[in-house]
Amino acid sequence: MKNFTILILNFFDFFYKLKLLKFLKKIISKNLDLVLDVGAHKGESIDFFLNNFNVLKIISFEASSENFKNLIKKEARYKKKFENSIIQIENIALSSSVGKKKLKQFEESSSSTMSKINKDSKYFKKKFKFVNLFKKKENFYNEILVDVDTLDNYIEIKKLNLIDLVKIDTEGSEFEILKGAINNLRKIKLILFEHHYDDMIIKDYNFTDINRLLKQNNFIRIHKAKMPFRKTFEYVYMNKFFKDDFKF
C-alpha cells in the first residue's frame, strides 16, 4: 500500500511540477546567477532548477544529516551532469535565530520538521492510514540535534550581493526563515515557498503573517497553486524593485 500510494502521489506531483515549471519559464527570461535551495531533501530542487534553467550557482541547505549524506553521495554525479553550474551543499538548518534545534527525522524523510506535531489532527490520521508513513504512532520519528543559522548571517558572511531565487520547503519553518532574512530581502528577486494549511504541523504563525512580512518588504504575490492531495499551497512572490527582470 505504501509504495503504491507514494507512486500515485509522485505521478500527480510530476504534472503539478510541469505547471509550476511552465509558469516560471514564462516569467524568467534570463539566466539565474544564484539560487538558494532551502530544504534540499534528496536533491529534487537541484534537478528541477538545473535541468530547466541556466543556473550559474545553486546553494542547497539541508538540515538532516541523513539526507545530507545522500546529497554528498550524489555530488559527483551532479557536478558531472551539470558541469556548467556550481553546486554547493550546506548541512545547516535556517531559522530566525542562531544555535541548535531538534529536527524530527521521519522515516518518510520529506515530512521531517523542526515544528511540533499534532498527532490528534485529522490530517495526521489520514496520512497514517492511507500512506502508512509511520510504523508506530507513538514513535514515528527520531530527534536529531542540528545546527541553525539565519539567512542574514549566511548572506553577509558569504558576501552574497544579489539572489535571483530563494526556494523554501521546510515543513513549517518558512516564516522563521523569512524573518531570519529580513535585512537582506531587498537582495532577493523571487521567493518560492510552500505553506501547509493542515493541522498536523503546529505553527505559531499563519499565512497572513508571511504575506504581511513580504508585502512590507516590497514583494507581491504572482502565483498560487494547490498541491495534489494536500492542504498545501505553493506561492511565488516577486520583489517589485526587480519587476523589469521578469516577463508578464
Residue 139's pLDDT is 62
Q: Among the listed ranges 68-82, 120-134, 176-190, which one has the minimum average pLDDT value? A: 120-134
Question: Residue 203's closest CA among 121, 108, 145?
Answer: 121
Is a pLDDT exceeding 90 seen at residue 221?
A: yes
The percentage of residues in the chain with a pLDDT greater than 90, rounded to a whole number, is 66
Neighbours of 15 (CB within 10 A): 9
Is the pLDDT at 87 greater than 90? The verdict is yes
What pLDDT sits at residue 1?
45
Q: Is the pLDDT of residue 20 over 80?
A: yes
More confident residue, 105 or 27: 27
pTM: 0.91
Each residue's pLDDT tens digit, 93-112: 999 999 999 998 877 677 78
Q: What helix, strand, coil percent values describe the chain, rounded to 5? A: 40, 30, 30
Mean pLDDT to the nearest integer, 109-127: 79
pLDDT at 70 over 50: yes
* Residue 144 CB neighbours (<10 A): 16
**How many whole angstroms separate alpha carbon 179 and alpha carbon 88?**
23
Q: What does residue 212 show for φ and ψ, rounded to 5 degrees?
A: -65, -45
Give residue 6's pLDDT: 62
In the predicted structure, residue 72 carries a pLDDT above the cut 60:
yes
Average pLDDT over residues 5-22: 79
Measured between alpha carbons, how far is residue 172 from residues 39, 95, 130, 175, 247 in Å? 11, 11, 22, 8, 31
